[in-house]
Structure formats: C-alpha cells, structure tokens
Structure 1
Amino acid sequence: MVDLILEMDDEHVETFFEIKIDNIFLENGFFTESGLVENMAQTCSSVVAKDYFIDENYNDKEDVNVVGFISGIKTLKIHALPQIGEVIYTKALLVSKFITESYSLCTMKCQTFRADELLLEGEITLFIQENKS
C-alpha cells in the first residue's frame, strides 16, 4: 500500500500511494477505512523494518524475510476517504521503539493527506520480526 518512499530517516518517513481500480480496499469507488489503516501501517513499518534489510554500512542484506503486524492502535481519526485515481501522502514520526534480538516494537504518529486535506491521523504500535524459517 506504498508506491514510493519520498523521504526517510531513523525517525521519520513520508510515502506516496495512488489509489488504483484493482485495489482490494475499495468500496463504491472509495478507498476504505481499512485501506487507510493498512497504508498507515506499511508506511510506519518502513522506519523500523529497514534495519532488517540494510546493515550498519547501508548495504543490502540478502534473503531477508520479515513479518509484521499491528499490535495496537492508540488513537485513530478518519476525516475523509480518497477515491479511485487519487494520490495520498502519508507522514509518520517515531514516538518510541523497543528492539530485542528477536523482534522490534515501535509506536508511531501518523497523518495521511490528499493534497493539503487531512484524511487520517493516529498513533499505531507495530510488532516486527525476522522470519528465519
């Protein structure tokens, strides 16, 4: 649910996503609430999950398989839904993270926009771990 990462560092990410007609989160020509939450989760996960895919020298790691899921939604306000063909921009900021050898937890604040119009705002916690099987 992310077409392009526009900007990213260790605490911040901005993404771009075009709502296409074949998206599974469409209903009556609109991108659903569940779709906005999934876009939020995938945008937010890129900040913490990137450490699984690149090493400390920013070299790609080979054959990495990561699994992640939403472990909690602290706040969520959906103000409007975008339509097919529209582009949304999602911005997320790291609030906290907890990293162990076997998994990572991160909490992030997120906002999604259509141009300058705020569509979604919320705070989400994600669980991410490498699948070593």
Structure 2
Amino acid sequence: MEIKEDQLINIHNFLPHREPMLMADYILELTKEKVVTSFEIKEDNVFVHNNELAEAGLIENLAQTCSSILGQSFFENPEADTKVIGFITNIKKIELFGLPKTGDKIISKASLISQYENVCHIFCETFNHDELLIRAEINLFIQEVKS
C-alpha cells in the first residue's frame, strides 16, 4: 500500500494511548467499518527483542488499529479532553506467520464484523510489504471515563 503523506490522519485523535504504549503511528484510511494504520518498528520500542517486534507488540498493534473504528465516535472533537478506557475482551482466533524487524513499516487492516453498543467483533491482519504477519478475530470494549 502506497502511503500518501497528505492523507495521513494522526492516530492520537482516535486513541487514548501515548508513548511508550502507542503501537500505531498513522491512520491511512478510516470509515465506520474499516481502518488501515501504519507503524514503524523502532529500536527503543518496549516490545522489541533481538531486533524483532514480539508477538505481544503485534497483538497490541492490532488492538489499537481495531479500536480506532470504535474509538472514533469518542474523539470526533480533537480539542475535547475526552478520556476513554478500552481493552480486548476476547481473541477468537489468531494466527502468527512472522515478526517484523526494527526499521520495518507495517500496515494493519481491520474490518468490523459486528457491534453492539461499546463492544465490537473485528477481523484484522498486519502486513510487512506483501508478507502477512498476523491474522486475528478479536472483540474489543471501549467506553468514556466520566471525571
């Protein structure tokens, strides 16, 4: 997938995560049912071991990519100080095919299968160029935290 700099969306507008737990850099495409993100693997990433992003890092990248679909409704106003909490409630199926190395830029794609209020079931995949790294079906929960 060609990354066009003028079409990048800052993922900070759709996720509560911040460094060092932010596992996606940009949203390349976002609709109510689909999201595509990019993430460059850096040496100082907390999930990098022996120059590879560990399985847990790939899963966290997928979860953050997926939560952008559900989270966009909470972050429609980037100026608002909205606080949300979200977590994986279930991993229905997961297949791991490879691990990216430091310096790689991975692309994650997620599609909404179903949603009931603040819980959604999503199919997701991550690629390094044309190589499929991981594929999963996960359930996520997200809600606004009232102060």
TM-score by length of structure 2 reads: 0.83
Q: Does 1:76 align with 2:94?
A: yes
The correspondence for 2:43, drawn from 21, 24, 29, is 21
Runs of 4+ deviating beyond 6 Å: none
SS at match of 1:80: coil
Structure 2 equivalent of residue 9 of structure 1:
31
- RMSD over equivalenced CA pairs, Å: 0.9
Q: CA–CA distance in 1 between the matches of 2:82 and 2:140?
A: 18
Q: CA–CA distance in 1 between the matches of 2:133 and 2:26?
A: 19
Measured after TM superposition, the shift of residue 61 of structure 1 is 5.9
Query: Please, which runs of 5 or more residues in structure 1 have no aligned partner?
Result: none
Cα distance change of structure 1 residues 61 and 52 upon mapping to structure 2, 3 Å threshold: farther
Q: CA–CA distance in 1 between the matches of 2:122 and 2:65?
A: 10
Structure 1 equivalent of residue 137 of structure 2:
123
SS at match of 2:101: coil
Q: Which amino acid aligns with 1:67?
A: I
Structure 2 equivalent of residue 52 of structure 1:
74
Matches within 5 A, 1:26-105: 26-54=48-76, 59-60=77-78, 62-99=80-117, 104-105=118-119
TM-score by length of structure 1 reads: 0.91
Q: Which amino acid aligns with 1:50?
A: Q
Q: Which amino acid aligns with 1:124?
A: I
Query: Could you tell me the percent identity over the aligned residues?
Result: 49
Structure 1 equivalent of residue 8 of structure 2:
none
- Which one scores higher on RCO, CA 8 angstroms, separation ≥ 6? 1
Q: CA–CA distance in 1 between the matches of 2:78 and 2:52?
A: 37
* Count of aligned residue pairs for this structure pair: 125
Q: Which amino acid aligns with 1:77?
A: E
| Cα offsets for 1:29-67 (capped at 9, x unmatched) | 11000000000000000001110111xxxx546110011
